[in-house]
Amino acid sequence: MQEQPLLTQAELEFIQHLNKKPAPSRRKPAPSSELLVDVGAQLKALLAYCAANEQLTIEAHVANQRLTFTAHLVEDAHQVQHLELGTPQIFDEGPASRAWRLPLAPPVALRQRNGKPSDLWVHELSLNGLLIELRARHAAPEHFELILPLAGQKPIAIEGSLVRKTSGGLLAYRLDPLDKRGSERLQQFIFQQHRALHPQTSQG
């Protein structure tokens, strides 16, 4: 049986084309939650090819943290294509990678549907969990459906399930999956707060 080549002729020609005229990056993109990538023409062609055919992610490693951006191919009013970086997911790197936790100081009370504060106060928040203080004598709920206030934004309806009690007396809750809009808003809020706490990640 004849072996199939690893790359098609078209793919080989594309790679050879990229290697002919490497061009340096002209300028760095301004820091933003959504960035347009301005790079050399050949590298831009490669990134555009990848973004058009597969999900493309770009990672940055800063101070034991990993920021993972999803890149999208967009077209402006002049029909010029650019790579746009969305709001990143942030992870702490170590023996085990985990979603970065945003410390809330002072803690924020989750609210009931009628707007009244609940007995659950959030000390740390990530994309998939919360560390909560119970300010009541009754037992911690196994599951809750409450409203999470966000500074400068509309609140988000969230649901959480109890995982464990920590050695510090706080309660770890797993955050149930949000809808697409809620997930994007929470991710953007956490990134904005991360930039305020770690301005070095935004320096170009």
pLDDT of residue 159: 96
With residues binned 3-state (H G I as helix, E B as strand, rest as coil), the percentages for the chain, rounded to 5, are 25, 40, 35
pLDDT of residue 29: 44
pLDDT of residue 109: 96
Residues in the chain with pLDDT values less than 50: 7, 21-33, 204
109 beta partners:
121
Tell me the per-residue pLDDT of 135-165, one tens digit each, with 9 for 90 and over: 998 899 999 999 999 888 899 999 999 999 9
Which residues in the chain are classed under CATH 2.40.10.220? 101-202
Classify domain 101-202 at the CATH class level: mainly beta
Sign, Cα dihedral of 5, 8, 13, 19 = negative
Residues 143, 2: Cα–Cα separation, whole Å: 59
